Amino acid sequence: MAALGLAGRTPRRRRSLTKQGKRPVAPDRVRRQFTAVAPDVLWCGDITEVTTDEGKLYLATVIDLYSRRLLGYAMSAHHDADLTQATLSMAAATRGGTVDGVIFHSDRGSEYTAADYAKACRRLGVLQSMGRVGCALDNAAAEAFNSTIKVEYIHRQRFRTRAEARLKIATWIVDFYNVRRRHSACDGMSPVDYEHFIADARRAEAA
């Protein structure tokens, strides 16, 4: 790399958005075991900040820890329960609306402890799980995705408006991350390819 004049990109320091309120919190049902034996067993998510010339934009995510597929995402100028509910609803729709029994792991931010968000989880049959405040390792898989999208894409762009950022980030997720980006947790396949490969292999075994 030195001979070619290349250098690695240094991740920027992440500023935490987590501010615990006085609402009840869910227990940690994951305990840093970020793996799943099948789709829709264990999801995780987080909110991260994106800078645009127009102001801040917040990206919320839902990731299936079976394949690291990004099932749901939403972006807004405000990080609140409406944002996390929109992300959860998209994830459920991606899976056909049937997600009863899924564990969703997050931090204890007010967006996840809000009564409206808890109600949305109960309606879908999603069981909440939460790590400790100020402990990024308790939600390491979601933090890792935030680092990936920022280092590989967001920090290489200049977004003049929030609308531009929304469009370009969504395109990166849908057209690249889920379907083309290889992931070590997926045996070098993309998340979508990995899900299809395992599903085909299991059908062949059952035949």
pLDDT digits (tens, 9 = 90+) for 118-173: 999 999 999 999 999 878 899 999 999 999 999 999 999 999 999 999 999 999 99
Q: How many other C-beta atoms can be found within 10 angstroms of the C-beta atom of residue 62?
A: 28
> In this structure, which topology does domain 42-206 adopt according to CATH?
Nucleotidyltransferase; domain 5 (3.30.420)
Rounded Cα distance between 112 and 105, Å, is 10
Residues with Cβ within 8 Å of 107's Cβ and at least 6 positions away in sequence, in order, are: 18, 46, 130, 131, 133, 138, 139
* Residue 43 near residue 63 (C-beta atoms within 8 A): yes
Chain mean position to CA 172: 14
Q: Which among 82, 78, 126 is positioned nearest to 100, based on CA atoms?
A: 126
Q: Which among 67, 114, 53 is positioned nearest to 88, based on CA atoms?
A: 114
17 confidence band (pLDDT: 50, 70, 90)? low
User: Domain map of the chain by residue range?
Assistant: 42-206
Q: Give mean pLDDT, residues 79-90.
A: 97
As beta bridge partners, residue 4 has none
Torsion of CA 133, 75, 129, 71, to 10 degrees: -140
Rounded Cα distance between 97 and 124, Å, is 8
Tell me the pTM: 0.87
